[in-house]
């Protein structure tokens, strides 16, 4: 059996991203999304979510962008002089090795993000991380502990499945260095996932068997999506996507994904893509289904 979770990241980043995610759920194949507790459009996202009973909603744990939920004065090692997150996961890992980041402060902020979403009345299906920050081993342990404490049943695992690397790089040859960089990032995360899966299971949590979309971040279109579906492995896979409409708010945010988000909308509502899912007998699910829910 082939089951596929199609998760739209960055819910709550901008209102037009929220619009796109809801549209791709209502008219297309998005089954799940992850909410940024510190996103500027958080309130709009939670309001929209309340009317979408079939959309699984997780939490997009974020230590890299925007302002923290916790008291900034308590997070000096994670924020810059303007009070905003600024470290990439690689930079955070380096600071951890130099003992420049307090794990206690990280837990405080992640806890605050989870509680903000729960207090908004959202039934949380799972956790994942903005820029995969939850995969840093020390942070993963915190995330697993918080998931247990707040009875969040699942977490994203980074074992990347089929990538169709040559086809993707060939069709985006001018950006092939970026594609290759993302491919090797996916390989590195997959190595972490080999031990991560056992830790997730030991914590009593669920995770999909495979993750798709790391290599293709910024390059996901209908052609590549069909290629992934045609080679989808048995088991449960999760496809990471980033649909959104470009507006002034998005242009002013630090994301590199702009016009490509609109290309993803086209792919995610494409009748041809839906036909390929039917042809391959792929069952669209969300994390709630993964954990035994209806």
DSSP assigned state of 11: E
Q: Are 32 and 8 in contact (CB under 8 A)?
A: yes
DSSP assignment string, 23-92: HHHHTSS--EEEE-TT-TTHHHHHHHHTT-TTSEEEEEE-SSSS--SS-GGG-TTTB-TTS-B---HHHH
What would the pLDDT profile of 84-130 be if each residue is shown by its tens digit?
988 888 888 888 888 878 899 999 999 999 999 999 999 999 999 99
Q: Are 57 and 128 in contact (CB under 8 A)?
A: no
What would the pLDDT profile of 246-285 be if each residue is shown by its tens digit?
988 888 877 777 789 999 999 999 999 999 999 999 999 9
pTM of the model: 0.92
**pLDDT for residue 161:** 65
Collapsed DSSP state (helix, strand, coil) of residue 206? strand
Domain 2-290 has CATH 3.20.20.370: yes
Per-residue confidence band for 187, with pLDDT thresholds at 50, 70 and 90: confident
What number of residues does the chain have? 294
């Amino acid at each position: 059996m082939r089951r596929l979770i199609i998760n739209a990241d960055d819910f709550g980043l901008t209102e037009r991203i929220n619009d796109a995610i809801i549209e791709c759920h209502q008219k297309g194949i998005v089954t799940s999304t992850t909410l940024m507790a510190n996103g500027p459009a958080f309130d709009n996202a939670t309001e929209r979510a309340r009317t979408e009973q079939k959309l699984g909603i997780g939490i997009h744990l974020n230590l890299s962008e925007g302002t923290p939920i916790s008291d900034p004065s308590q997070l000096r090692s994670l924020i810059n002089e303007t009070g905003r997150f600024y470290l990439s996961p690689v930079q955070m890992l380096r600071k951890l090795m130099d003992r420049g980041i307090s794990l206690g402060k990280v837990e405080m902020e992640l806890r605050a993000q989870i509680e903000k979403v729960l207090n908004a009345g959202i039934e949380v299906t799972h956790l994942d991380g903005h820029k995969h920050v939850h995969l840093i081993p020390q942070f993963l342990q915190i995330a697993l502990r918080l998931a247990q404490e707040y009875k969040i049943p699942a977490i994203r695992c980074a074992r990347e499945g089929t990538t169709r690397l040559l086809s993707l790089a060939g069709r985006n040859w001018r950006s092939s260095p970026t594609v290759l960089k993302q491919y090797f990032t996916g390989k590195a995360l997959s190595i972490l996932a080999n031990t991560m899966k056992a830790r997730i299971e030991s914590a009593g949590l669920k995770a999909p068997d495979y993750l798709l979309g790391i290599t293709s971040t910024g390059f996901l279109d209908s052609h590549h999506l069909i290629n992934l579906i045609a080679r989808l492995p048995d088991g449960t896979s999760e496809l990471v996507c980033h649909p959104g409409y470009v507006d002034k708010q998005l242009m002013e945010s630090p994301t590199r994904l702009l016009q490509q988000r609109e290309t993803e909308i086209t792919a995610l509502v494409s009748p041809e893509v839906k036909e390929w899912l039917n042809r391959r007998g792929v069952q669209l699910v969300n994390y709630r289904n993964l954990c035994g829910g209806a």
